[in-house]
Amino acid sequence: MTSKMWGGRFSAGPSAIMNEINVSLGFDRRLGKQDVRGSMAHAEMLAEQGIISKEDSAAIKQGLIRIELELANGNFPFKQALEDIHMNVEQHLTALVGPAGGRLHTARSRNDQVATDFRMWVRAAIDTLDDEIKKLQDVLIGKAEANADTVMPGFTHLQVGQPVTFGHHLLAYVEMFGRDRGRFADARRRLNECPLGAGAMAGTSFPIDRQSTASNLDFDRPMANSMDAVSDRDFALEFLAAASILAVHMSRFAEELVVWFSPQFGFVTLTDAFTTGSSMMPQKRNPDAAELVRAKSGRVIGALMGLLTVMKALPLTYSKDMQEDKEAVFGVFDTLELCLAATMGMADDMQPNKERMAASARLGYSTATDFADWVTQKLNVPFRESHHITGQAVKLAESKGVELRELTLADLQGIDERITADIFNVLTVEAAAASRTSYGGTAPSNVRAQAQAARERYLGSKLKW
- Give, as ranges, the residues between 378 and 437 that touch ligand ARG (CB under 6 A): none
Tell me whether residue 56 or residue 112 sits nearer to ligand ARG (CB atom).
Answer: 112
Task: Reduce the DSSP state of residue 302 to 3 states and report it.
Answer: helix
Beta bridge partners of 193: 221
Instruction: For residue 330, state whether it binds ligand ARG (rule: CB under 6 A).
Output: no
Identity of the residue, 307 or 350, whose beta carbon is nearer to ligand ARG in the bound complex:
307
Q: Is 323 in the site for ligand ARG (CB under 6 A)?
A: yes
Q: Which one from 11, 15, 157, 399 is the annotated catalytic residue?
A: 157
User: Which of 34, 323 has the CB closer to ligand ARG?
Assistant: 323
Using the rule CB under 6 A, give the single segment among 38-46, 316-324, 335-343, 385-393 that binds ligand ARG: 316-324
Q: How far is the CB of 84 from ligand ARG (least distance, A)?
A: 4
**How far apart are CB 23 and ligand ARG at their closest, in Å?**
9
> Does the annotation mark 388 as catalytic?
no
**Measured from the CB of residue 322, what is the shortest distance to ligand ARG in angstroms?**
5
| Residue of the chain from 24, 88, 231, 386 that contacts ligand ARG (CB under 6 A) | 24
219, 193 contact by CB (below 8 A): yes
Question: Amino acid identity, residue 352?
Answer: P
Residue 236's identity, in one-letter code, is: A
Region from 122-130, 142-150, 319-327, 379-387 binding ligand ARG, contact rule CB under 6 A: 319-327
Q: Which residue among the candidates 262, 278, 319, 445 is catalytic per the annotation?
A: 278
Q: Which of 52, 67, 104, 114 binds ligand ARG (CB under 6 A)?
A: 114
Residue 246 to residue 183: CA distance in whole angstroms: 9
Instruction: Considering only residues 354 through 383, tell me which ones interact with ligand ARG, judged by CB under 6 A.
Output: none
Minimum distance from CB of 33 to ligand ARG (Å)? 16
CA distance 184 to 164: 31
Strands (E), 216-344: 221-222, 268-269
Q: Does 111 bind ligand ARG (CB under 6 A)?
A: yes
Q: Does 188 help bind ligand ARG (rule: CB under 6 A)? A: no
- Which is closer to ligand ARG, CB of 198 or CB of 419? 198
Nearer of residues 22 and 351 to ligand ARG, judged by Cβ: 22
Torsion angle in degrees (nearest 10) through CA of 79, 83, 84, 86: -90
Nearest by Cα to 86 from 35, 127, 46, 130 = 35
Burial 298-320 (b: 16+ CB within 10 A, else e): ebbbebbebbeebbeeeeebbee
Buried b (16+ CB within 10 A) or exposed e, 77-86: eeeeebbbbb
**String of contacts with ligand ARG for each residue 71-110, x by CB under 6 A:** -------------x-------------------------x
Please say which residue, 173 or 318, places its beta carbon nearer to ligand ARG.
Answer: 318
Q: Is 3 a catalytic residue?
A: no
Angle, CA 277 vertex, CA 275 and CA 279 arms, to 5°: 155
Please name which of 260, 448, 444, 434 lies closest in space to residue 351, comparing C-alpha atoms: 260
Distance CA 2, CA 114 (A): 23
Q: Is 318 in the site for ligand ARG (CB under 6 A)?
A: yes
H helices of 262-324, in order, are: 288-311
Nearer to ligand ARG, 311 or 432 (CB): 311
Collapsing DSSP to helix, strand or coil, 314 comes out as coil
Footprint of ligand ARG (CB under 6 A) = 24, 28, 84, 110-111, 114, 318, 320, 322-323
Catalogue the active-site residues.
Answer: 157, 278
